Amino acid sequence: MPSIQSSRPLLPPFTWNTAIQKVRMAEDAWNSRDPERVSLAYSADSSWRNREEFLSGREAIVEFLRRKWAKELDYRLIKELWAFQEARIAVRFAYEWHDHAGNWIRSYGNENWEFDETGLMRRRIASINDLPISETDRKYHWASGRRPDDHPSLSDLGL
């Protein structure tokens, strides 16, 4: 899939193509590991549930992401569209990371997203499970940042 560039924001109601673009844009932002950049995709009063943590607003999102990426080192993420309708998108994802002791984890999950009329995400609900893996079981080996266009998807990897 080529790099996604758009001269206008992707607004609901979503089509198959715009939903796929929205998912890839989110994946690219999260793979940047830049909390401020990621937070700009969310409404100022966005509400989140991430695992057992509840957040509200961009400031809380930025602080959450700073903590997350201080713990989850060498983070690499793949998201895949699961379903969409009107202003909602459901994705499944998996990401790999290691802790400060060098223990590798693959985190799997599902997210439900709801967007406002300006295309900003106003609600994010994430359910995530962690699976310890050995370094040799890793499947994500690209350089830090955006996943290369020719890298296999979750489905291609059998995840």
Task: Going residue by residue through the chain, which has 159 residues, state the pLDDT in tens, using 9 for 90 and above.
Answer: 444 444 457 999 999 999 999 999 999 999 999 999 999 999 999 999 999 999 999 999 999 999 999 999 999 999 999 999 999 999 999 999 999 999 999 999 999 999 999 999 999 999 999 999 999 999 999 999 999 999 999 999 999
Q: Which domain covers residue 64, as residue numbers?
A: 16-157
The verdict on residue 131 lying in a domain is yes
Task: Check residue 23 and give its pLDDT.
Answer: 98
Question: What are the E-state strand segments in the chain?
Answer: 42-50, 53-56, 73-85, 88-98, 104-115, 121-133
At 122, is the secondary structure helix, strand, or coil? strand
State the CATH number of the domain containing residue 118. Answer: 3.10.450.50
Does 10 map to a domain? no
